[in-house]
Amino acid sequence: MKELKTSFYRMLYDQSPVSLWVEDFSEVYRSLMALKQEGIQDIKAHFHTYPEKFRECTAKLRIVDVNQTTLRLFGASSKQDLIDNSHKIFKGDAKESVLASMIAISEGRKSFEGQGINY
């Protein structure tokens, strides 16, 4: 029964008509906590002052999985193709959304809701 449920939910994920991503922020979290340990309280101001630190932190964000709609949306031939070219996706408006999610993480919030345009 568990295998049937798992395959059903996997099918829902894979075939969903909306772009779905599973991302691992654990290394990002560790970096943000290290900054707080250094006494940096305003993450947004810090990353605006030191954009290279923001890039270093975002490089630690790991894409675990995406669904088929995401691959079609970005014209990727595979999940690995999307991952290898993610630097082309996360720019402009998307940077602000990622920054907002990092601020939420640094503030200890358990959830985050935001919008971004990735193209």
Q: Is the pLDDT of residue 118 over 70?
A: no
pTM over 0.85: no
Greater confidence (118 vs 66) lies with 66
pLDDT tens digits along 49-83 = 999 999 999 999 999 999 999 999 999 999 999 99
**Cβ–Cβ under 8 Å, residues 79 and 66:** yes
Q: Where are the domains of the chain?
A: 24-106
pLDDT tens digits along 9-32 = 999 999 999 999 999 999 999 999
Average pLDDT over residues 72-98: 86
**One-letter amino acid identity for 7?**
S
Of 107, 34, 118, 92, whose CA–CA distance to 23 is shortest? 118
